[in-house]
Amino acid sequence: MTSTARVPDHLDDDGLQTVTLTVNGSERTVAVPTHRTLLDGLRDEVGLPGTKSCCAEGECGACTVLLDGKSVNSCLVLCVEAEGHQVTTVEGLSDDGLTDLQEEFLNAGAVQCGFCIPGQVVSAEYLLRTNPEPDEVQIREALSGNLCRCAGYQRIVRAVQATAARRSER
């Protein structure tokens, strides 16, 4: 920062902006540069590395989180845009062990290297919350933004179907 540069009013002396957001039910305040993505903010500032980074351009879905209950690629959202919003990451889907959906991922053999799985689980959870009884075409469509190079796709579809069945019995 040169002596002539003026720090805009909404930034602190280091050029950082203070952002307050609710992550997994807890209010968190972080100071970030305005270009910091929500993905990096969650991983590096909030300290929740369960959300993964791969393509950083909204194509792979590894960074999927829920923003006010809707699934988004957190690499395409700026941290500062999340001010005052509710964010749910994979860590926040359950506060006690695995969810039924996560259990069904394991039962179906859907988890191989595991890197894409947090994003898959969040996307699938969003699908089931908005469409509790999706058919296979709807599942494929809803998850088509989540890449899995181990290609556990068919097993993931089964995991989602099994979870939907479990939830409908409740």
Partner 1 sequence: MTTAPERAIEQRDALGEPSDPYPQGQVGRPVLRYGGGDRTSGAQRFVADLRFPGSLQVALVTVPVGCADVLGIDTTAARAVPGVVDVVTAADLPSPMPRFGVSHTDRPVLADGRVNYHGEPVAAVVAKTLDAAQAAARAVRVDHRELPGVYTLDDALAPGAHRVQEPSLRPGHALADTNVLEEAHYAWGDLEAEEARTEVVVEETYTFPMVTHFPIEPGGTVAVPTDSGGLDVYSPVQHPYLLQRTLASVLGLPLNQVRVFAPDPGGGFGGKQNPKLEPLLAFLALRTRRTCRLVLSLEETFQSMRRAGCRIAARTGFTADGALTFHHVDADFLIGAYADVAPRVMGKGSYVAAGPYRIPGVRIDARAVMTNTTPSTAFRGFGSPQVSWALESQLDAGARRLGLDGLEIRRRNLVAKGEAFVRGESAAAADGEWHQSLEKAAELIGWGTPLPPGRGRGIAVGIKPGATSGLSQSLVRLLADGSAIVYAGTSDMGQGARTLWQQIVADELGAPLDQVSVVSGDTGTVPFDLQTSASRSTVFMGSAVLEACRDVRQRVLALYAESTGVPPEELEERPGVLVTPEGELPLPEAARTALGSLRGEFIGQGTRRLRGKGKHPLGGDAAFYEFNATAIEVEVDRETGELLLTRHVTVSDVGTELNPLQVVSQDEGAAIMGLGHSQMEQLLLDEHGRIRNLGALDYRIPTFKDVPVELVSAAVENHDGPGPYGSKGISEGALLCTAGALGAAVADAAGVVIRDLPLTPERVWAAIQAAEAAQ
- Return residues touching partner 1 (CB under 8 A): 1, 33, 43, 48-57, 59-60, 62, 89-91, 94, 98, 102, 105-107, 109-118, 121, 139-141, 143-157
In whole angstroms, how close is the CB of 11 to partner 1 at the nearest point?
14
**Pick 110 or 128: Cβ nearer partner 1:** 110
Please, what sign has the CA dihedral across residues 143, 114, 160, 66?
negative
**Pick 44 or 84: Cβ nearer partner 1:** 44
One-letter identity of residue 53: S
Contact 146, 61 (CB under 8 A): yes
| CA separation for the pair 167, 162 (Å, rounded) | 9
Could you say which DSSP state residue 76 is in?
G
In the numeric block, which tokens belong to residue 51? 């959300």
**Pick 84 or 148: Cβ nearer partner 1:** 148
| CA separation for the pair 146, 96 (Å, rounded) | 26
In whole angstroms, how close is the CB of 90 to partner 1 at the nearest point?
4
In whole angstroms, how close is the CB of 85 to partner 1 at the nearest point?
20
**Pick 84 or 105: Cβ nearer partner 1:** 105
In whole angstroms, how close is the CB of 111 to partner 1 at the nearest point?
5
In whole angstroms, how close is the CB of 59 to partner 1 at the nearest point?
4
**Pick 72 or 121: Cβ nearer partner 1:** 121
Q: Looking up tokens 């939907």, which residue turns up? A: 164
In the numeric block, which tokens belong to residue 42? 């969650």
Collect all residues with Cβ–Cβ distance below 8 Å to 146 and sequence separation of at least 6. 60, 61, 62, 64, 116, 119, 120, 123
